[in-house]
Amino acid sequence: MRKQEGVIKYQLNHTQQPISSLYSLADINAWRTIAVRLELIGQSPERYQNIGFGNISQRIDPHSAQFIISGTQTGHIEQLSPEHYCLIVKAEPHQNRIQSRGLCNPSSESLTHASVYAQNHAIQAVIHAHSPEIWKHTIALELPHTMADIAYGTVDMAMAVEQLFQSGKLTQTSLFTMLGHEDGVIAFGRNMEEAAWQLIKYLSLAIRIEPQRVNR
């Protein structure tokens, strides 16, 4: 039986109030819309029992541990409004706790995003996409990955992400797959554009593999 997507597994302390209008959402929203059009973020009756998939986040500034992230189950909306984002005020991946503020609850993958940000202050953007092409060709593309027995949105996943960074496997690429999370891919970068181009680059490389196998 397929595990249900989009379920929040961490302890959430959420304050229901609008996030500050001082936070610019133009960049994050533009790149999220592109990801939706590429079907890397979204919602479809043919995928995951029609549960929304994928999410996106951005630090509020280079020196802060806080970040803006798309809300849970917003995949069906192509262009989000401010009420569809929330602020992660404090994240404690090892304690399985998230403190947030916004008019919607944060993404179920917020703990994983927080773990990525904690590894390097230069990381300013994270995209959690669902790409069957990249995911199934993890080995062929020699991509860093978390193991198949590690579920999304958990302390184990946060620790696995930390171990990937410590292993040095992410020095040459800013993308990894989660083998325990169907089609799950994480890309990150110094800005939204850098993270998005990592996804597009590996999507193109993955698509190239298919014809090569057919022609053999």
Quickly tell me which residue has 């192509």 as its tokens: 78
The average pLDDT across 47-67 equals: 91
What is the pLDDT, as a whole number, of residue 8?
67
**Chain-wide mean pLDDT for the chain?**
90
pLDDT for 4 beyond 50: no
Residues in Cβ contact with 50 at an 8 Å cutoff, skipping those fewer than 6 apart: 43, 44
Strands 125-130 and 145-146: unpaired
What is the pLDDT, as a whole number, of residue 212?
56
The average pLDDT across 84-92 equals: 94
Whole-angstrom Cα distance, residue 18 to residue 9? 23
What is the pLDDT, as a whole number, of residue 167?
94
Domain ranges in the chain? 11-215
What is the pLDDT, as a whole number, of residue 211?
65
What is the pLDDT, as a whole number, of residue 23?
87
What is the pLDDT, as a whole number, of residue 122?
95
Greatest alpha-carbon pair distance for the chain in Å reads 57
The average pLDDT across 59-75 equals: 91
Whole-angstrom Cα distance, residue 16 to residue 147? 35
Residues in Cβ contact with 202 at an 8 Å cutoff, skipping those fewer than 6 apart: 131, 134, 141, 143, 175, 185, 187
CB distance 53 to 41 below 8 Å: yes
Q: Say which residue, 162 or 151, is predicted with more confidence.
A: 162
Instruction: In the chain, count H helices and then E strands.
Output: 5, 9
pLDDT for 185 beyond 50: yes
CB distance 117 to 111 below 8 Å: no
> What percentage of the chain reaches a pLDDT higher than 90?
72
Please tell me the class of the 11-215 domain.
Answer: alpha beta
Q: Give the helix ranges, DSSP H, for the chain.
A: 26-37, 110-119, 132-136, 155-167, 192-215
